[in-house]
Amino acid sequence: MKEPNITLVDSLQNHFLIAMPSLTDKYFNRSVTYILEHGEQGAMGIVINQPSNMTFRELLGQVDEKAPVSDSISEKIILCGGPVQADRGFVIHESSGAWNSSTRITEDIMVTTSKDILLAIGKEDGPQNNILTLGYAGWEAGQLEQEIQENSWLTIPASKDILFDTPIHKRWETAVNKLGIDIWQLTQQAGSA
């Protein structure tokens, strides 16, 4: 019997993937993932609510040990963006400035991977609203669609308030609440009709 072909209905770029409680993988347990790219080739996203043990001062010290770091930003926590290339940095930020390696996700949101933005943030000259991560999450063609069909993820359009204004430890609950669902009504078991 031939496998069903999962087709891409709409791009989930600029959406959040909200992990169902049944998803217990260490990277994705109660995670919110911001989708940067989604198309026929697969998907790429950044987990925005899994803190690492690294601070901004430590990260910047690895990039440029002589770079100045403002005290107000030095203890900012770096997030675990996903299991792929965990040593690669990403900065999700409001559109501002001209950086060496940026991709515009929406009119308001960009992702930058060059060190010039880190140096600017360290001196408080970078974008005010930003999320600093190491690593990303990736899905092969059809894989994310299959996981959604298997009820591993809920999806909602992304919002800047969750990205930049909601505390890290509240992002999953806040994203679930935007769906109009009581967080405690989500069960460990899911099915499809």
Averaged over successive runs of 10 residues, the pLDDT of the chain (193 residues) comes to: 47 95 88 96 97 94 88 93 94 88 93 93 91 96 94 94 96 92 63 44
- As for how many domains the chain has, the answer is 1
What is the model's pLDDT at position 188? 53
Residue 162, in any domain of the structure: yes
CB 146 within 8 Å of CB 94: no
What is the model's pLDDT at position 30? 93
What is the model's pLDDT at position 5? 43
Residue 190, in any domain of the structure: no
| Domain around 80 | 15-185
Residue 8, in any domain of the structure: no
What is the model's pLDDT at position 190? 47
130 CB-near residues (< 8 Å, 6+ apart): 91, 92, 93, 94, 121, 164
Residue 48, in any domain of the structure: yes
CA dist 102 and 129 (Å) reads: 15
Residue 6, in any domain of the structure: no
Residue 164, in any domain of the structure: yes
Residue 103, in any domain of the structure: yes
Residue 7, in any domain of the structure: no
- CATH assignment at residue 65: 3.40.1740.10
What is the model's pLDDT at position 181? 78
